[in-house]
Amino acid sequence: MQITVKTKDNQKDSFAVRKAVFMEEQGYKNEFDETDNICDYVTVYCDDRLAGTGRVFFSEKENAFVFGRIAVLKEFRGLHFGTIILAELEKIAKEKGGKCAVLLSQAYAVGFYQKSGFSLCDDSVIYDEGQPHRRMKKIF
């Protein structure tokens, strides 16, 4: 199994994963937004097949880098591609001078992010298109 990662010229691939996972599989309607215009994207490939994605941008409001839209196609889950994506997002943030990252995790995925060093910001639950999410943070 050959794993490769792209961090340039990959927005189209990122959008393809997000459409498949968030819209077609999970039923989200409002997947794409104006923030997409300012993001860096990570895409991961397995034997030259697109497997997953994530995005990162700096938020002045949060005074932190925001990780988001992290998704792995169904046939590649359980192969640690999510961990690879997170590490690459963190690498981008650090290269840009970042000291911390925040994200909004789907409630069922909190444990995954905790394994990568994120912690819950508080006890509140935020609903996005009816799905429960939790705010998380990681200091680098």
3 state DSSP class of 23 = helix
d(CA 71, CA 43): 10
Residues 6+ apart with CB under 8 A from 138: 90, 100, 101, 102, 116, 117, 118, 119
pLDDT of residue 108: 95
d(CA 112, CA 134): 12
What is residue 35's predicted lDDT score, i.e. its pLDDT? 95
**pLDDT digit string, tens, across residues 22-55:** 999 999 999 999 999 999 999 999 999 999 999 9
Q: How many CB atoms lie within 10 A of CB 14?
A: 23
Percent of the chain at pLDDT above 70? 100
pLDDT at position 4 is 97
Q: Tens of pLDDT along 63-116?
A: 999 999 999 999 999 999 999 999 999 999 999 999 999 999 999 999 999 999
What pLDDT sits at residue 119?
98
Per the CB < 8 A criterion, the answer to whether 71 and 18 are in contact is: yes
